[in-house]
Structure 1
Amino acid sequence: MTFAHDVEDALRAAVALVNSAEEPETLTTTGELAAFFSHHGYTGRHDGTAAELAAVRELRPELRALLLAPRDEAVALVNGILAEEQAVPRLVRHDALDWHLHAVGDDEPLARRIRVETAMAMLDVIRADEHSRLAVCADETCEALALDLSRNRSKRYCSATCTNRNAAAAYRARQSV
């Protein structure tokens, strides 16, 4: 199952945001927020203030809970977010992107847009019953999230660092036998 580009982009951004709370913590400055905004292709309002940074950082626990919630619990969380934010989906096309969904205006605060875009992306995850694509990293020492968008569902680790650490440990274990 491949998701629409906007769904994949929103999931990648949400996972990156949630993982920014892991050690070493990132997204601690307005400069890092600006880089996050740019890297994940956000458009529209970006204040670049400490208040905006704080509001985005405050989303991390809620998004983590949403991304890891079992399917039926995720439905309640998504419905709650969309109702609370009074999200009204509409098709838009901008920049180099083809038609995709937005559910709040581009002039809304960034934290609100991230929250709604993540909930909208989770709609497709729920409808496709693809929750297995979101999990905690398989590294026993890591609590970050891993997003698996591969065809063969082979991604188990959150980053190359965790992948390499576990591959090296497995290699050493095989060599010691």
Structure 2
Amino acid sequence: MNMLTAYFDEGAQVAVELANARSPFRRGVAVEPDPTASAPLWSLQTALRAILDADEPVAAATGINALLHAAAAAPMLEADPEGRWRLHLHSPHADEISRMAVKAATGLATLLDDDAWHTVKSCAAERCGDFFLDRSRNASGRYCSRTCANRVNARLHRRRH
């Protein structure tokens, strides 16, 4: 796998994890918001949640572009200590929240560019507000985890018997 592709893939996963931090339920359990989260982090998590919840790629693209603009994304090539060229997508003076925003936004932008937005899904389990990236071969995944799938299947089994 190309290192740049891995970076973008990791960025999409970071976006999902940050958005899930604002989920009201995690795998069937109510979650209280983190009182220690800073206002910029809260804002980033909320923005990512809105992007992932977008029904249309146009709405997602608008949100992604707004994130990139707000984080002052500035692609730049720099040589590392070994002399290899590395692409940095954020300003060299960016703070941690801005770097996370750029990484998450570029990961999601790559999903749109690859026509893979359909792989971003919301868990189908009741009382789970998590998003996930469906990496199954035929993109048929419905649950964010085995925990949610087992909970739903157990409930269905109890109803039948």
TM-score by length of 2: 0.74
Q: Measure, in 2, the Cα distance between the counterparts of 1:18 and 1:73.
A: 16
Which amino acid is 1:150 matched to?
S
From 53, 69, 86, give the equivalent of 1:68.
53
Q: Measure, in 1, the Cα distance between the counterparts of 2:33 and 2:77.
A: 33
Q: How does 1:35-114 map onto structure 2 within 5 Å?
A: 53-69=38-54, 70-90=56-76, 101-105=87-91, 107-114=93-100
Q: How does 1:1-177 map onto structure 2 within 5 Å?
A: 4-22=5-23, 23-25=30-32, 27-29=34-36, 53-69=38-54, 70-90=56-76, 101-105=87-91, 107-174=93-160, 176=161
Q: Measure, in 1, the Cα distance between the counterparts of 2:139 and 2:86.
A: 25
| Contact 2:47-2:63 within 8 A present in 1 as well | no
Which amino acid is 2:121 matched to?
A
Q: Measure, in 2, the Cα distance between the counterparts of 1:65 and 1:17.
A: 12
Aligned length: 148
Which amino acid is 1:113 matched to?
R
Greater length-normalized contact order (CA 8 Å, ≥ 6 residues apart): 2
Q: Which runs of 5+ in 1 are unaligned?
A: 30-49
Q: Which runs of 5+ in 2 are unaligned?
A: 24-29
Please list the CA deviations of residues 42-65 of structure 1 after superposition, one character each: whole Å capped at 9, or x if unmatched: xxxxxxxx7xx4422321110011
TM-score by length of 1: 0.69
Q: As a proportion of its length, which structure holds more strand?
A: 2
Q: Measure, in 1, the Cα distance between the counterparts of 2:9 and 2:89.
A: 16
1:71 Cα offset (Å): 0.6
Aligned identity (percent) is 32
